[in-house]
């Protein structure tokens, strides 16, 4: 009778253990030191979350590292380049059980240098002085004892011998620690995004527009790209208010009162294709200004990252705005938030918005739009400035 009961108990235990266990929502914090990203994961009650899966995304798109937290709930990774990153901590399968944290890595005074790569000169000098002083006391004491014909007791030298041993051990430990510490590795420079962006334009044979605006608009041989179907086409463009790299506020409604707007959504300054589109617009910005229009670019890059890239490669001749969490991009249909195990989806988007506040031309793709002549044609059409064809 006992044996069947034991078997039934085992089967019941296995059945209970096979039911899915509800995942507990985790909490995470991120600290940046130089190029080191440290992620601390905890349970809501404060306990460290060991073995929690962590993913690190560069530019919020490219996975650069994966791993799990240690027993203290800590996961540390050193990145190879600066930029905007996203930490993803998964505690379950649903979107509510995924923690997403954005962080920015910049080169600056706060960058950490491993202390083990600097020789402890102060410790070594103190140890050598101690050893030299003790040896000098022993030699002088021995000579004085011989001169006075006094017999030296070794017990009298024990304190000096002990100090000598301590000093020697101190010096030896400093040398050993320095010898076994890892050598300082030179931080690799970031890839030159601006150079790669120019190469992208050259490969696509995108060149600055030359000649007068009237001649460019009257050139019927040039192909123009028609608008794509889009839910916002012919509708009022969602108003928004964002800050640029200098924390200056830019609002769409206010700018439309002054003229037309070409609104560009790009992935971020890590994407050389995106930056290529911005360079192409920068090269032709004067043509857009002749039509009384303004260019504006939007991405989720934080202002401090954009400032750093401008310091490296120079500013654009139009505002570059920060859209935290891609909220504005979502309103324009070029961003889809992550859902469960599905990663977020971000697309390039270019919109021509008229003085009436409506979207009159739209283009969204996995590649940026570099047809500036098409944009100028659409702007001129809205302003009634297309050249009259000659008979």
Q: In this structure, what CATH number is given to the domain that contains residue 27? A: 2.60.40.1930
Tokens of 191: 């890839």
276 in Cβ contact with 332 (< 8 Å):
no
Last residue in a domain, options 84, 105, 126:
105
- Around Cβ 139, how many Cβ atoms within 10 Å? 10
Please tell me the distance from the alpha carbon of residue 372 to that of residue 206, in angstroms, as a whole number.
9
Q: What is the pairing mode between strands 36-42 and 74-78?
A: antiparallel
363 has which bridge partners? 350
Residue 12: inside a domain: no
Residue 69: burial class (beta carbons within 10 Å; 0-12, 13-18, 19+): buried
41 in Cβ contact with 72 (< 8 Å):
no
Q: What is the pairing mode between strands 83-90 and 62-68?
A: unpaired
- Does residue 157 sit in the same domain as residue 288? no
Last residue in a domain, options 146, 180, 214:
180
Residue 186: inside a domain: no
- Does residue 152 sit in the same domain as residue 247? no
pLDDT at 59: 82
264 in Cβ contact with 231 (< 8 Å):
no
- Does residue 248 sit in the same domain as residue 124? no
pLDDT at 289: 97
Please tell me the distance from the alpha carbon of residue 32 to that of residue 309, in angstroms, as a whole number.
19
Please tell me the distance from the alpha carbon of residue 236 to that of residue 353, in angstroms, as a whole number.
9
- Does residue 174 sit in the same domain as residue 203? no
- Does residue 222 sit in the same domain as residue 163? no
Residue 216: inside a domain: yes
pLDDT at 111: 38
Residue 363: inside a domain: yes
Q: Tell me the residue range of the domain where 127 lies.
A: 115-180
Which strand (E) or helix (H) includes residue 250? strand 249-251
Please tell me the distance from the alpha carbon of residue 32 to that of residue 85, in angstroms, as a whole number.
11
pLDDT at 19: 37
258 in Cβ contact with 289 (< 8 Å):
no
Tokens of 38: 């440290």
**Residues with Cβ within 8 Å of residue 30, at least 6 apart in sequence:** 37, 38, 39, 40, 87, 101, 103
pLDDT beneath 70, residues of the chain = 1-24, 92-97, 108-131, 133-168, 170-188, 340-341, 389-391
Phi and psi (nearest 5°) for 157?
A: -90, -5
Tokens of 386: 């297309």
- Does residue 123 sit in the same domain as residue 80? no
Counting the structural domains of the chain, the total is: 3
Which strand (E) or helix (H) includes residue 381? helix 372-383
- Does residue 213 sit in the same domain as residue 360? yes
- Does residue 273 sit in the same domain as residue 360? yes
Question: DSSP readout, 297-345?
Answer: EEES--HHHHHHHHHHH---SS-EEE-GGGHHHHHTTSEE--BTTBPPE
- Does residue 224 sit in the same domain as residue 98? no
Question: What's the maximum distance between 2 C-alpha atoms anywhere in the chain?
Answer: 129
pLDDT at 12: 46
Closest alpha carbon to 309 in 56, 31, 35, 82: 82
The tens digit of pLDDT for each residue in 116-155 reads 445 556 666 666 666 676 666 666 666 666 666 656 565 6
- Does residue 152 sit in the same domain as residue 210? no
Last residue in a domain, options 159, 180, 201:
180
Question: 231-259: string of b/e by CB count within 10 Å (b at 16+)?
Answer: ebeeeebeebebbbbeeeebebeebbeeb
pLDDT at 21: 34
Residue 329: inside a domain: yes
Residue 320: inside a domain: yes
- Does residue 242 sit in the same domain as residue 218? yes
- Does residue 75 sit in the same domain as residue 151? no
Residue 388: inside a domain: no
The tens digit of pLDDT for each residue in 44-95 reads 888 999 999 999 988 877 888 999 999 999 999 999 888 899 898 987 655 5
Residue 293: inside a domain: yes
- Around Cβ 297, how many Cβ atoms within 10 Å? 24
């Amino acid at each position: 009778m006992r044996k069947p009961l034991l078997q039934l108990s085992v089967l019941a235990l296995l059945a209970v253990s096979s039911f899915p266990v509800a995942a507990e929502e985790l909490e995470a914090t991120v600290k940046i030191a130089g190029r080191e990203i440290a992620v601390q994961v905890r349970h809501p009650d404060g306990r460290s979350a060991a073995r929690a899966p962590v993913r690190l995304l560069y530019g919020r798109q490219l996975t650069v590292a994966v791993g799990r937290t240690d027993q203290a709930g800590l996961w540390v990774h050193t990145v190879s380049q600066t930029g905007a990153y996203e930490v993803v901590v998964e505690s379950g399968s649903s979107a509510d059980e995924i923690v997403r944290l954005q962080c920015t890595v910049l080169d600056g005074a706060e960058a950490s240098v491993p202390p083990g790569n600097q020789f402890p000169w102060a410790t070594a000098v103190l140890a050598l002085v101690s050893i030299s002083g003790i040896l000098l006391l022993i030699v002088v004491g021995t000579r004085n004892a011989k001169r006075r014909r006094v017999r030296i007791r070794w017990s009298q030298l024990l304190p000096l011998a002990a100090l000598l041993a301590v000093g020697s051990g101190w010096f030896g430990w400093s040398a050993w620690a320095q010898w076994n510490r890892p050598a300082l590795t030179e931080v690799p420079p970031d890839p030159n995004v601006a150079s790669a962006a120019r190469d992208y334009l050259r490969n696509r044979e995108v060149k600055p527009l030359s000649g007068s605006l009237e001649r460019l608009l009257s050139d019927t041989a040039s192909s123009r790209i028609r608008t794509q179907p889009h839910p916002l086409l012919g509708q009022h463009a969602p108003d928004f208010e964002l800050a640029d790299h200098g924390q200056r506020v830019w609002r769409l409604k206010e700018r439309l009162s002054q003229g037309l707007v070409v609104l560009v959504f790009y992935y971020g300054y890590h994407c050389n294709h995106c930056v290529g589109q911005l360079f192409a617009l920068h090269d032709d910005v004067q043509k857009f200004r002749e039509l009384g229009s303004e260019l504006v670019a939007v991405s989720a890059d934080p202002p401090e990252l954009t400032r750093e890239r401008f310091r490296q490669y120079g500013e654009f001749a139009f505002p570059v705005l920060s859209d935290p969490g891609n909220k504005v991009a979502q309103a324009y249909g070029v961003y889809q938030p992550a859902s469960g195990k599905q990663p977020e989806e971000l697309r390039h988007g270019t919109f021509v918005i008229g003085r009436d506040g409506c979207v009159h031309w739209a283009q969204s793709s996995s590649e940026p739009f570099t047809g500036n002549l098409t944009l100028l044609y659409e702007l001129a059409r809205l302003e009634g400035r297309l050249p009259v064809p000659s008979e």
